């Protein structure tokens, strides 16, 4: 049974970096049949896919256009986890952030981390 | 504004049937499979339907999905009060190279 455990700060100051980690159990970040995604949800933007990382003989990333200039999603094979880094945050980035596995569609989700951007 | 369009709300009485539509375009629903999610407030979305009409283990057959052209539909029969939740459709958009979600539909069981 695949489980995803999220961690990271719930409060980030404007212009700083939002960093979250998602630890995988029951699967491998290096799986050749899955991708590892970050998705956020806010009342104003609904569910918004941010991006993914996946391994197919080498590592690939895809990012949403809305955040492409300031996002990085990185795997850590030694810890079987992946991370989200979102730079230069503003109050618009306040949301619940979810990590999720995709096997062609997001099928396993973390419990979510509420992140507030405020000074 | 979402690439996939859902009605904001639907309602029906217990025991009745309801359908939720999801309208897209040739670059998303017209080309790729659709999945559906149920979200109870305060919890993460839960996969209900994948690849247009398949149910994961543990999802009752009261839930069904279909796709035709650039639209998809979620059907729920034998409505129960426990079905009250927000429902989202999702699919890959080949033009945007991004996963897209609908705006969500709030189901009320009267």
Residue position matching structure tokens 């491998």 = A28
Number of residue pairs across A and B with CB atoms under 8 Å? 52
Interface test with B, best of A36, A46, A98, A100 (most B CBs within 10 A): A46
- Name the residue among A70, A87, A73 with its Cα closest to residue A15: A87
- For A54, A94, B10, B69, B76, the CA distances from A38, given in Å and listed in that order, are 12, 14, 29, 29, 29
- For A19, B4, B27, B38, the CA distances from B87, given in Å and listed in that order, are 29, 13, 22, 5
Looking at residue A112, what is its pLDDT? 98
Residue position matching structure tokens 């999702």 = B90
* Residue percentage of chain A with pLDDT more than 70: 100
C-alpha Rg value of chain A to the nearest Å:
13
Cross-chain residue pair A46–B46, CB shorter than 8 Å: no
Question: What whole-number distance in Å separates Cα of residue B44 and Cα of residue B46?
Answer: 6
Which stretches of chain A drop beneath a pLDDT of 70?
none
| B97–A contact, CB cutoff 8 A | yes
Interface test with B, best of A3, A5, A43, A47 (most B CBs within 10 A): A47
Average pLDDT score over residue span B36-61: 97
- B52 pLDDT higher than 80: yes
Per-residue pLDDT tens over the stretch A11-21: 999 999 999 99
- The runs of H, that is alpha helices, within chain A are none
Looking at residue B1, what is its pLDDT? 74
């Amino acid at each position: 049974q695949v489980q995803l455990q999220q961690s990271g700060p719930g409060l980030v100051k404007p212009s700083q970096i939002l960093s979250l980690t998602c630890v995988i159990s029951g699967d491998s970040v290096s799986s050749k049949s899955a991708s590892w995604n970050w998705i956020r949800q806010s009342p104003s933007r609904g569910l918004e896919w941010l991006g993914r990382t996946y391994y197919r003989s080498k590592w690939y990333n895809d990012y949403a256009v809305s955040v492409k200039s300031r996002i990085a999603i990185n795997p850590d094979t030694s810890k079987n986890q992946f991370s989200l880094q979102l730079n230069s945050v503003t109050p618009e980035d306040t949301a619940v952030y979810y990590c999720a596995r995709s096997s062609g569609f997001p099928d396993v989700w973390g419990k979510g981390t509420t992140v507030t951007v405020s000074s | 504004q979402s690439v996939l369009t859902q009605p904001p709300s639907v309602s029906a009485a217990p025991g009745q049937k309801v359908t939720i539509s999801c309208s897209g375009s040739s670059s998303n629903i017209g080309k790729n499979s659709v999945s559906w999610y149920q979200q109870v407030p305060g919890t993460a979305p839960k996969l209900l339907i994948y690849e247009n009409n398949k149910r994961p283990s543990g999802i009752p057959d009261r839930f069904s999905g279909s796709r035709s052209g650039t639209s998809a539909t979620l059907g729920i029969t034998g409505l129960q009060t426990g079905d009250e939740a927000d429902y989202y459709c999702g699919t890959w958009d080949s033009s945007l190279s991004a996963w897209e979600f609908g705006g969500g539909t709030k189901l009320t069981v009267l």
